A and B are shown apart, each in its own frame.
Chain A
Amino acid sequence: MAVDERLDVAIIGSGPAGLAAAARAARRGMRHLLLEKTDHLSDTVYRYQKGKHVMATPAQLLLRADVGFEPGAREAVLDRWNRDAAEVGIAIRLEAEVTSISGSRGAFVLGLAGGETILAAHVVLAIGTQGNPNLLRARGVGEPGMPIVQYTLDDPGEYVDSHIIVVGSGDAGIENALGLAADPVQGNHVTILNRSADFARAKDANVKALFAARDAGRLTVLTETSPNRLEPGHMVVDTRDGEARLRCDRVIARLGSAPPRAFVEQAGVAFASAAREAFPTLSPTYETSVPGLYIIGALAGYPLIKHCLNQGHDVIEFIAGNTELKPADEPILEQRLGGLSPARSVAEWIALFRREVSIFRHVSPLQMRELLLDARVRQFAPGETVFVKNDVGASLFAIAEGEVEVEIAAGPPRRTAIIETGSIVGEVGLISGRRRGATVRAHGPATLVELPRNAALRLIGTVPQARAEVDRITTTRLLLQIFQSGLSAEDLAPILASAEQQTVRAGERIIAEGDTDDSLVVIRRGSCVVEKELGGRQVFLNYLPAGSYFGEMAVIDGSRRTATVRAAIRSELLRLEGREFRALFETRPELRARMLADMAARRSLTAFIEQEKHRFGSAIDLYSETAAFLMENGIGEATDMLLIDERLCVGCDNCEKACADSHDGLSRLDREAGRTFAYLHVPTSCRHCEHPHCMTDCPPNAIQRGADGEVSINESCIGCGNCVRYCPYGVIRMDAPPPPKPGLLSWMLLGRGPGPGEPPKAWVKAERKARGEAEPAKKAVKCDMCAGKAGGPACVRACPTGAALRVSPEAFLALARGGA
């Protein structure tokens, strides 16, 4: 082959990235060739659903490619690209599949499927990741007779009268689900499963459309649900409350995709890590570890079309030797970082963040730029407050320079702890609705990167190492808090290195009585119950909330498990090696003493029950059954629950009246409704769940957890009713406050007004008419545990007989000696 046949640049893949690169190369007059495996341009977009609306995010990013792009229908976008490609004069070769890449800068040899070779000085790889979807992991996938599992959906109109389950909470999954459910005439029963509680990875507009479709009854959205196995005609899923069986003819799994690694590695390109989702290591000019070989687009970690188009433009500029070119987002970032001191360039700041901050270490410079578009970089003077305890705040702070101090006790004596450069603070903001748990101040001058909650969730959702790092930090802090005993993070490092994370379903057994394993288990989220077999029956021993640990007996003396522990609700656990703990006992005898004390208390309770079983047999049975009843009624995820002892309740409804009169005339509890067992009644009233379901999708983020642990709705409620639908206990109502009533004495002495309690609807209507007022908009109303009221919850204070009590599950379910 003659030298002049060598191309300046060969571009593989004609998606938005490759197309933009080819267009730039054509404009610059470079000898180029765009190679496309299929018989049309941009296969990924081509295979979008018919009529799909293609979005153009991030909105603030400027577009500077030579092919145009505006948000619109799939067909319009493809037409525009075909037209622009022809106009600019791109050299395209369709149905040309590249099977091998060898060589380096100046002398690449591309092998095509037909055996032909192409020579090029530079190669731009823009093949995306769609060819390598993440597979559905569930028993029964691909077996005969099972529901069909597919990873793409071309035309949702093809399917009728089917039970279709879409798995995946990203944009693709949501769009597929919406497409299948769009036309009621098709008669599809569409369900979308989301493993987590929110749709953090999807575009806002898609999430809104999904919820609108659900509210219109066109499809079902199941959150905190994941596939377990397929059965003929069905899918069995794990939900928060255990297994459920759904009708299912077809599964559409949209679980994202991973780079086609084998092919890329064969060309000599190094990846960031061994993880399946890892991206190739790239320089700021998109060059791989192979000089002259460039990777852009989804394969580089950028699935958004606008990014792809800009990268296509930029990579050709770099190849052409334009080293002065700044990325398209440079002006925005310059403005963001310009006011900081000392003055550094954007690239220098990015290098600093990636070097110093552990959660950014595995983020590519390009991803870092994108992250900074959402983030705020803030500098604090020594002693300046970063945030205050109990503030509402949902952002994560990464410490890039300096240190911060956390106030553990306001004092006196005031106690603080230092958090070093590179760590994070405010990670509690990642748990929805939590307020700041402590006041944080700068300790010396400090530079902090503040990531809003959604940006932080996206980071840990897309960079596995960042997730692992956040996990490591939060877990270390949890363990230090649980065990105290003067431990340091260094002490815990070996324990954490061998720790195993585990998610268990409601009711699943975690350790079994009589077993000989010796791990120590920490409950990170959820709660567990401890049971013991006595006389052939499982007797309830104890309730363990999140933040407690169990299994210490086997760790300390190697004895068999003395009790069985089950998850009360879906829970996240951390299993720690007993061996590592015993090693730590050598250097930290305080830890051993502390665990021995905990163990002695638990063991004596067990012994006591075993010993007294014959005396209190029926009482212990009743206690076990009562505990089981309360578990069924949500005490496992409650933090504070209203119970009524019906042996004392005279039915006066003073609790409801007090509730209404303490909160603008609307009662937040329904005393009579609800379940009862052994005279213990669980009225319809908020349990203040540890992970509140009501917060799942509150558009104005009006639901917050307060200083006393109460979950309450603030005045920014827009009355959409989402929380009412999400609450599994039916404790939220939509209503408008009634007009004010005449005072108590004028009711008692003169008979004016409806008297104490929530006024009857008829009175409210008549009163509004008399006042000439329209009915105000309905808003969500729920128990706020009488936050801010001295004396605490009015329902309990107003109970004349002591029937109403508010309990925390751990206090209520702790079996008191002799008082079973």
Chain B
Amino acid sequence: MNAPIPAGAMRAPAEGRRTARHEGFLGHRRFFWAWVALLATAAAVLLYALDDPWPRPNGGTALGYALGTAGALLILWLSLLGLRKRRYTDGQWSLKAWVSAHVWLGLALGVIATLHTGFQFGWNVHTLAYGLMLLVILSGLLGVWLYARLPRRLSANRAETSERAMAATLAENDRALKEAARLLDDRSAALVEAAIRGPAVGPTLEQRLSGRVRRCATAAARARLDATDPALETVAALLGARAALLAQMRRHVQLKSTLQLWLLVHVPATVGLLAALLAHVVSVFFYW
């Protein structure tokens, strides 16, 4: 009579559905993709060293074509990440695994493509493609470095609030500030009014990345209002709270913008690379 289902046995049996292990994208599956990339790189270097083409190593030798084809296919596959991360289809895929492979194989691409050049550079579309590829890889490396460093700071600065909560707190503070400013003299009221109207975060990319706002009206109001005047006590406290909140919001935007900054190079350079790669391949075959 060993049968139906006491309370405890009804817990989620879903081990199969909980496949994500607690490890970051670099160390995904015990550095599986790092090993794959290392082996691919080692194989390419070994073949290059053993190969003795005449008159010299070149993209046009048998090995050169092989490395070039591998590199081109890698570039196409690596650029598909942009699509993968936005297509939330069903199935046994994990974006973390894709990112892991993207990073490690992207680094391997640097070596494979360099060997493909046979170290011949010039002012032409071929070297342009190579240069753009290096730019993409280096900006990607910057991204990995930022991804390793900034999330903790983002989390610590946010301190259990959210963007929405910060905006709501600011609106609440501003309401109180307006209320308190009604009793002030015209000059002080105008300063407070300007502080409220001023932008919370920098309007330009440069200001966002620096975490500062040029001529911040809140800072100006705090500096110009007479802090010793007892009539201004409430307003000064509210302005202080506003300044602290703005500092947190600006830091938040600064960190988030920095986390995306490298993409401003990485993605356009990828588009350029794909165009240059096409030109490179077409021209090579055209002049064959």
* A residues with CB within 8 A of B: 406, 408, 417-420, 423, 425-428, 431, 434, 436-438, 440, 474-478, 480-482, 484, 488-489, 523-525, 545-548, 639-640, 645-651, 654, 657-658, 661-662, 670, 672-676, 679, 681, 688, 690, 705, 708-710, 744, 748, 755-756, 785, 789-794, 796-808, 811
Chain A contacts of B85 at CB under 8 A? 654, 798, 800
Q: How far is the CB of A141 from chain B (nearest CB, A)?
A: 33
Whether B4 pairs with A406 at a CB distance below 8 angstroms is: yes
Given contacts A426-B4, A477-B4, A676-B160, contact A709 B19 (CB under 8 A): no
Chain B contacts of A434 at CB under 8 A? 5, 10
Chain A contacts of B5 at CB under 8 A? 428, 434, 437-438, 477
List CB contacts (< 8 Å) of B215-267 with chain A.
Answer: 255-256, 259
* B residues with CB within 8 A of A: 1-25, 28, 82-83, 85-88, 90-96, 98-99, 147, 150-152, 154-155, 158-165, 255-256, 259
Chain A contacts of B88 at CB under 8 A? 657-658, 661-662, 756, 794, 797-798
Chain B contacts of A688 at CB under 8 A? 12
Whether B151 pairs with A547 at a CB distance below 8 angstroms is: no
Q: How far is the CB of B187 from chain A (nearest CB, A)?
A: 38
Chain B contacts of A654 at CB under 8 A? 85, 95
Whether A546 pairs with B1 at a CB distance below 8 angstroms is: no
Chain B contacts of A547 at CB under 8 A? 6-9, 11
Compute how far the CA of A648 lies from the CA of B82 in the bound complex, rounded to whole angstroms: 20
Whether B1 pairs with A420 at a CB distance below 8 angstroms is: yes
Chain B contacts of A406 at CB under 8 A? 3-4
Compute how far the CA of A437 lies from the CA of B168 in the bound complex, rounded to whole angstroms: 46
Q: How far is the CB of B12 from chain A (nearest CB, A)?
A: 3
Chain A residue at minimum C-beta to C-beta distance from B5: A437
10 residue pairs of the A-B complex, CB under 8 angstroms, read A417-B1, A423-B1, A428-B4, A546-B7, A647-B152, A676-B160, A755-B86, A797-B88, A800-B25, A806-B20
Chain B residue at minimum C-beta to C-beta distance from A549: B8
Whether B17 pairs with A708 at a CB distance below 8 angstroms is: yes
Compute how far the CA of A800 lies from the CA of B24 in the bound complex, rounded to whole angstroms: 9
Chain A residue at minimum C-beta to C-beta distance from B28: A802
Given contacts A546-B11, A648-B24, contact A676 B3 (CB under 8 A): no
Whether A801 pairs with B96 at a CB distance below 8 angstroms is: yes
Chain B contacts of A657 at CB under 8 A? 86, 88
Looking at A523, A547, A688, the one whose CB has the most chain B CB atoms below 10 A away is: A547
Compute how far the CA of A548 lies from the CA of B8 in the bound complex, rounded to whole angstroms: 7
Chain B contacts of A478 at CB under 8 A? 6-9
Given contacts A675-B160, A744-B83, A802-B24, contact A438 B3 (CB under 8 A): yes
Beyond A673-B162, A804-B20, 18 extra complex contacts between A and B, CB < 8 Å: A423-B1, A428-B10, A440-B4, A476-B1, A481-B9, A488-B1, A523-B8, A524-B8, A640-B18, A648-B151, A672-B165, A710-B12, A756-B88, A790-B92, A791-B90, A797-B93, A801-B147, A808-B18
Compute how far the CA of A647 lies from the CA of B153 in the bound complex, rounded to whole angstroms: 9
Compute how far the CA of A654 lies from the CA of B96 in the bound complex, rounded to whole angstroms: 12
Chain A contacts of B96 at CB under 8 A? 799-802
Instruction: Tell which of B18, B147, B155 touches A646, judged by Cβ atoms closer than 8 Å.
Output: B155
Compute how far the CA of A202 lies from the CA of B85 in the bound complex, rounded to whole angstroms: 52
State the 9 A-B residue pairs at the shortest beta-carbon distance, nearest first.
A547-B8, A709-B12, A437-B5, A478-B6, A672-B162, A646-B155, A406-B3, A792-B17, A639-B12
Compute how far the CA of A420 lies from the CA of B23 in the bound complex, rounded to whole angstroms: 50
Chain A contacts of B23 at CB under 8 A? 802
Looking at B87, B88, B93, the one whose CB has the most chain A CB atoms below 10 A away is: B88
Whether A756 pairs with B10 at a CB distance below 8 angstroms is: no
Compute how far the CA of A675 lies from the CA of B91 in the bound complex, rounded to whole angstroms: 31
Compute how far the CA of A489 lies from the CA of B25 in the bound complex, rounded to whole angstroms: 50
Chain B contacts of A648 at CB under 8 A? 24-25, 147, 151
Chain A contacts of B92 at CB under 8 A? 790-791
Given contacts A797-B94, A806-B20, contact A709 B13 (CB under 8 A): yes
Instruction: Tell which of A408, A420, A423, A672 touches B164, judged by Cβ atoms closer than 8 Å.
Output: A672
Instruction: Tell which of A408, A428, A640, A793 touches B2, judged by Cβ atoms closer than 8 Å.
Output: A408
Looking at B83, B86, B92, B98, the one whose CB has the most chain A CB atoms below 10 A away is: B86
Chain B residue at minimum C-beta to C-beta distance from A525: B7
Chain B residue at minimum C-beta to C-beta distance from A416: B3
Chain A contacts of B155 at CB under 8 A? 646-647, 649, 676, 679, 681
Q: How far is the CB of B68 from chain A (nearest CB, A)?
A: 28
Chain A contacts of B13 at CB under 8 A? 708-709
Chain B residue at minimum C-beta to C-beta distance from A475: B6
Whether A417 pairs with B3 at a CB distance below 8 angstroms is: yes
Chain B contacts of A804 at CB under 8 A? 20
Whether B25 pairs with A802 at a CB distance below 8 angstroms is: yes
Compute how far the CA of A756 lies from the CA of B16 in the bound complex, rounded to whole angstroms: 27
Given contacts A651-B154, A806-B20, contact A419 B1 (CB under 8 A): yes
Compute how far the CA of A675 lies from the CA of B20 in the bound complex, rounded to whole angstroms: 22
Chain B contacts of A524 at CB under 8 A? 6-8
Q: How far is the CB of B1 from chain A (nearest CB, A)?
A: 5
Looking at B6, B93, B98, the one whose CB has the most chain A CB atoms below 10 A away is: B6
Instruction: Tell which of B15, B83, B95 touches A799, judged by Cβ atoms closer than 8 Å.
Output: B95
Compute how far the CA of A815 lies from the CA of B73 in the bound complex, rounded to whole angstroms: 44
Whether B12 pairs with A801 at a CB distance below 8 angstroms is: no
Compute how far the CA of A302 lies from the CA of B115 in the bound complex, rounded to whole angstroms: 93
Whether A474 pairs with B99 at a CB distance below 8 angstroms is: no
Q: How far is the CB of B80 from chain A (nearest CB, A)?
A: 12
Instruction: Tell which of B12, B94, B163 touches A640, judged by Cβ atoms closer than 8 Å.
Output: B12
Whether A791 pairs with B11 at a CB distance below 8 angstroms is: no
Chain B contacts of A474 at CB under 8 A? 6-7
Whether B12 pairs with A651 at a CB distance below 8 angstroms is: no
Whether A651 pairs with B256 at a CB distance below 8 angstroms is: yes
Chain B contacts of A482 at CB under 8 A? 8
Q: How far is the CB of B111 from chain A (nearest CB, A)?
A: 24
Chain B contacts of A476 at CB under 8 A? 1
Chain A residue at minimum C-beta to C-beta distance from B155: A646
Compute how far the CA of A480 lies from the CA of B1 in the bound complex, rounded to whole angstroms: 9
Whether A650 pairs with B259 at a CB distance below 8 angstroms is: yes
Compute how far the CA of A462 lies from the CA of B265 in the bound complex, rounded to whole angstroms: 73
Chain A contacts of B151 at CB under 8 A? 646-651, 801, 803
Whether B2 pairs with A477 at a CB distance below 8 angstroms is: yes
Given contacts A672-B163, A790-B92, contact A650 B150 (CB under 8 A): yes
Chain A residue at minimum C-beta to C-beta distance from B163: A672
Compute how far the CA of A361 lies from the CA of B154 in the bound complex, rounded to whole angstroms: 65
Compute how far the CA of A648 lies from the CA of B3 in the bound complex, rounded to whole angstroms: 44
Whether B20 pairs with A796 at a CB distance below 8 angstroms is: yes
Chain A residue at minimum C-beta to C-beta distance from B259: A650
Q: How far is the CB of A682 from chain B (nearest CB, A)?
A: 10
Whether B10 pairs with A431 at a CB distance below 8 angstroms is: yes
Chain B residue at minimum C-beta to C-beta distance from A480: B2
Q: How far is the CB of A800 from chain B (nearest CB, A)?
A: 5
Compute how far the CA of A794 lies from the CA of B91 in the bound complex, rounded to whole angstroms: 9
Looking at B14, B22, B91, B158, the one whose CB has the most chain A CB atoms below 10 A away is: B14
Chain B residue at minimum C-beta to C-beta distance from A437: B5
Compute how far the CA of A545 lies from the CA of B8 in the bound complex, rounded to whole angstroms: 7
Given contacts A646-B152, A679-B152, contact A756 B86 (CB under 8 A): yes
Compute how far the CA of A785 lies from the CA of B12 in the bound complex, rounded to whole angstroms: 11
Whether B87 pairs with A650 at a CB distance below 8 angstroms is: no
Compute how far the CA of A322 lies from the CA of B75 in the bound complex, rounded to whole angstroms: 97
Q: How far is the CB of A649 from chain B (nearest CB, A)?
A: 5
